[in-house]
Amino acid sequence: MSSQIPMVDYLRLGDDPRLVAHECEQCHARYFDHRIACAACEGESFRDVEVDPTGEVKAFTIVSLAAPGIPVPFVAALIDCDGTSVQANLVDVEADPEHVTLGMKVALTTYSLGTDDQGVEAIGFGFAPVP
Amino acid sequence: MADDVWILGIHMTKFGKHPTLDTIDLAAEATRGALSDGGVTMKDMGLIASGNLLAGGHVGQTLQKAIGQTGIPVINVANACATGATALKVCVMALRSGEADMALAVGVEKLAGAGLLSGGSRADDGGSWTPEGRYGAVTAVDGRIGTATMPGVFAQIGMEYGHRYGGTSFELFAQISEKNHAHSTLNPLAAYSKRFTLDEIMNDVMIAYPNTRPMCSANCDGAAAAVLVTGAKLKTLSLEQQRRAVKVAASVLTTDPWEEGCQVLPNVNTLTKAAASQAYEAAGIGPDDLDLVELHDCFATAELVHYDNLGLCEEGGAPDLFRSGATWRDGRIPVNVSGGLESKGHPISATGIANVWEIATHLRGEAGPRQIDGARVGLAHVIGLGSACGVHVLERSAA
């Protein structure tokens, strides 16, 4: 497993992958980037918390024009994971408005981004529909 | 009590492709137009606030070298798509503080042919996966973790409104675009002034569902400029200058306060609601007093949410407001009679002054065939992602 690296540092790999947010100890605001202080309350202490790996799509778009190297169309979505907003691509779903709907239930999943010259495999994440 | 501030002269260039004019030419044309419109010269200006994003950051001084170096302070401003409104706000602050009695705000951009504007991404350099940046990303994340491209961000903003309140659809968003393109046919300064049918809009190239190409703001070249003056100084000018002056009843700039999710998908609602509320209070009016509104329809999906954010309808009532026909030019509260950013165009830093020009031109009764009859009060709104919101409320001169 040491030959894997997450696409971003807030994705924790393992048997049960999770997104991990930095939560302000004072006001519980959650962030995915590294922090100097809390934008909500100016607190300077944070703890890492697991984000619920399931959620509900509260906004999406189907992108047909993107940066070079990004396959289109793809679905970008804002997902409400039990009160924490997460931005992610929806995966394992047809990228059309018949298959993607507001309010649909989704769950975290991971996929390979490929292996580099040192044999390290990068792992990305997305959210897939759940029945 | 700080003095009133008025627009003495204002001008916008034609928006569109200007292959033979550079950034300074466009800024100079807008500035000369605003000075001439106000019956003043560069020698009368006490300050210049100059807005531009893409030409290197010193447009104000280069503009002076093109049309008038008088040694006055220049403040070069940048605030994303709210840059023009920010230049105006800087002038208003300078006049209210007594630092100057006349000031020039100018915004200019050369954007024709620019491609997709995104929130930034990083190129893959191959070799080995190396975590970089605030998220420790080993690769460019735009397109892999959602989208930071503008059409996609604003698509989600419209969809989120639909999820929260209901009543939206691809067709509804396309109808908003249909309205603005119809309005543009009366605006000779618009980059595009072609009417589209609803079918044409819905079947055009999809950029980021539900925004098709005509539902996106048009990248183009353009500039706009305004001369602002204190009420005390205005009283010393001619009766004709006083008659055509337009009162800046409110000039408000806000940023987005923290709210859950605001660093995941930009929240354009909180800061617009705050700006609108502050502007109505400063002007002593309510949304029902407005005769016309120019709001930031960078995408059709954005126009809808701003009906609500500016208080033009009850919370959640934006789809019903639009379907009632109220925001067409013959409706109760005409919105974007210029054609909006979708057809007039969006040369970023010029936009926040050009929409004030549109309102001022109606208040002066000089809008020709697209005049909103009897317009007395209007509101101009812009949003720059990041975020900044500018709202200006303008009133016709009583003289």
> Residue B220 in contact with residue B347, Cβ under 8 Å?
yes
Q: What is the pLDDT of residues B52-72, one digit of tens each?
A: 999 987 899 999 999 999 999
Q: B141, B163, B164: which to substitute to probe chain A, counting the most A Cβ within 10 Å? A: B163
Give me the mean pLDDT over the B13-25 stretch: 97
DSSP calls for A85-121: EEEEEE-SS-SSTTT--TT-EEEEEEEEEEE-TTSPE
In a shared domain, residues B189 and B306: yes
What chain A residue is nearest to B153 in terms of C-alpha separation?
A: A61
Q: Report how far residue B362's alpha carbon sits from residue B376's, in angstroms, rounded to the nearest whole number.
A: 8
Is B152 within 8 Å of chain A by CB?
A: yes
In a shared domain, residues B68 and B159: no
* Residue A2: per-residue pLDDT: 59
What chain A residue is nearest to B130 in terms of C-alpha separation?
A: A5
> Residue B7 in contact with residue B248, Cβ under 8 Å?
yes
In a shared domain, residues B320 and B364: yes
Give me the mean pLDDT over the B177-203 stretch: 98
Give me the mean pLDDT over the B139-143 stretch: 91
Return the structure tokens found at B364: 């002066």
Reported as a pLDDT band with limits 50, 70 and 90, residue B117 is low
* Residue A86: per-residue pLDDT: 98
Lowest mean pLDDT among B104-118, B260-274, B355-369, B383-397: B104-118
Partners of residue B132 on adjacent β-strands: B137
Residues B345, B351, B353, B355, CA torsion sign = positive
Return the structure tokens found at B37: 């419109």
Q: Report how far residue B315's alpha carbon sits from residue B145's, in angstroms, rounded to the nearest whole number.
A: 31
In a shared domain, residues B228 and B350: no
Q: Report how far residue B92's alpha carbon sits from residue B247's, in angstroms, rounded to the nearest whole number.
A: 11
- Cα–Cα distances in Å, from B310 out to B49, B297, B314? 26, 13, 10
Return the structure tokens found at B42: 């560069």
What are the residues whose beta carbons fall under 8 Å from the beta carbon of A98, sequence distance 6 or more?
A: none
Reported as a pLDDT band with limits 50, 70 and 90, residue A125 is very high
> How many domains is chain B built from?
2
Lowest mean pLDDT among A65-74, B81-90, B384-393: A65-74
In a shared domain, residues B29 and B91: yes
What are the residues whose beta carbons fall under 8 Å from the beta carbon of B357, sequence distance 6 or more?
A: B10, B11, B12, B224, B226
**pLDDT at residue A9 greater than cutoff 80:** yes
Reported as a pLDDT band with limits 50, 70 and 90, residue B123 is very low
- DSSP SS3 for A123: strand
* Residue B362: per-residue pLDDT: 98
Structural domain contains residue B41? yes
Q: What is the pLDDT of residues B193-244, one digit of tens each?
A: 999 999 999 999 999 999 999 999 989 999 999 999 999 999 999 999 999 9
Q: Using the beta-carbon criterion (under 8 Å), do A67 and B121 form an inter-chain contact?
A: yes
In a shared domain, residues B183 and B294: yes
What are the residues whose beta carbons fall under 8 Å from the beta carbon of B336, sequence distance 6 or more?
A: B179, B180, B183, B293, B294, B295, B297, B303, B327
Q: Report how far residue A3's alpha carbon sits from residue A115's, in angstroms, rounded to the nearest whole number.
A: 9
- DSSP SS3 for B382: strand
* Residue A1: per-residue pLDDT: 46
Q: Tell me which residue has tokens 């973790």.
A: B145
Q: Report how far residue B29's alpha carbon sits from residue B34's, in angstroms, rounded to the nearest whole number.
A: 9
> Whats the size of chain A, residue-wise?
131
* R_g (Cα) of chain A, nearest Å: 16
DSSP state, B333?
S
* Residue B126: per-residue pLDDT: 57
In a shared domain, residues B91 and B191: no
Q: What is the pLDDT of residues B329-354, one digit of tens each?
A: 999 999 999 999 999 999 999 999 99
DSSP calls for B89-145: HHHHHHHHHTS-SEEEEEEEE--TT-----S-------SS---BTTTTBSS--TTTS
Q: Report how far residue B20's alpha carbon sits from residue B184's, in angstroms, rounded to the nearest whole number.
A: 25
Structural domain contains residue B293? yes
Which residues 235-264 on chain B approach chain A with CB closer than 8 angstroms? 258, 260-261, 263-264
Structural domain contains residue B96? yes
Q: Using the beta-carbon criterion (under 8 Å), do B143 and A63 form an inter-chain contact?
A: yes
Say how far residue B104 (Cα) sits from the centre of its chain: 17
The ipTM estimated for the assembled molecules is: 0.94
- Amino acid identity of B169? S
Give me the mean pLDDT over the B285-312 stretch: 98
In a shared domain, residues B88 and B161: no
Q: B144, B150, B207, B269: which to substitute to probe chain A, counting the most A Cβ within 10 Å? A: B144
Quote the mean pLDDT of chain B: 95
Q: What is the pLDDT of residues A74-122, one digit of tens each?
A: 999 999 999 999 999 999 999 999 999 999 999 999 999 999 988 999 9
**pLDDT at residue B294 greater than cutoff 90:** yes
Angle ∠(A50,A7,A5) on CA atoms, nearest 5: 90
Determine the structural domain holding residue B354 and report its residue range: 150-213+250-396
Is B166 within 8 Å of chain A by CB?
A: no
Give me the mean pLDDT over the B88-116 stretch: 94
* Residue B116: per-residue pLDDT: 65
| Phi then psi dihedrals of residue B113, to 5 deg | 85, -5
**pLDDT at residue A68 greater than cutoff 90:** no
Return the structure tokens found at B21: 């004019």
Quote the mean pLDDT of chain A: 95
> Residue B240 in contact with residue B126, Cβ under 8 Å?
no
In a shared domain, residues B99 and B156: no
What are the residues whose beta carbons fall under 8 Å from the beta carbon of B201, sequence distance 6 or more?
A: B174, B177, B178, B181, B212, B214, B215
Q: Report how far residue B341's alpha carbon sits from residue B183's, in angstroms, rounded to the nearest whole number.
A: 11
In a shared domain, residues B340 and B192: yes
CATH number of the structural domain spanning residue B78: 3.40.47.10
DSSP state, B81?
B
Q: Report how far residue A70's alpha carbon sits from residue B143's, in angstroms, rounded to the nearest whole number.
A: 6
Q: Using the beta-carbon criterion (under 8 Å), do B139 and A122 form an inter-chain contact?
A: yes
Q: What is the pLDDT of residues B248-263, one digit of tens each?
A: 999 999 999 999 999 9
Reported as a pLDDT band with limits 50, 70 and 90, residue B121 is very low
Q: Report how far residue A98's alpha carbon sits from residue A102's, in angstroms, rounded to the nearest whole number.
A: 11
* Residue B373: per-residue pLDDT: 97
- What percent of chain B lies above the pLDDT cut of 70? 96
Spell out the domain ranges in chain A: 4-129
In a shared domain, residues B70 and B100: yes
H/E segment holding residue B308? helix B300-309
Return the structure tokens found at B275: 């700006």
**pLDDT at residue A126 greater than cutoff 70:** yes
Structural domain contains residue B130? no
**pLDDT at residue A10 greater than cutoff 80:** yes
Where are the extended beta strands (E) located within chain B? Answer: 5-12, 48-51, 74-77, 102-109, 206-209, 211-212, 222-230, 246-255, 292-294, 377-384, 388-396
Q: Using the beta-carbon criterion (under 8 Å), do B127 and A116 form an inter-chain contact?
A: yes
Reported as a pLDDT band with limits 50, 70 and 90, residue B399 is low
Q: A87, A90, A105, A113: which to substitute to probe chain B, counting the most B Cβ within 10 Å? A: A87
**pLDDT at residue B118 greater than cutoff 80:** no
Give me the mean pLDDT over the A3-25 stretch: 97
In a shared domain, residues B295 and B330: yes
**pLDDT at residue A17 greater than cutoff 90:** yes
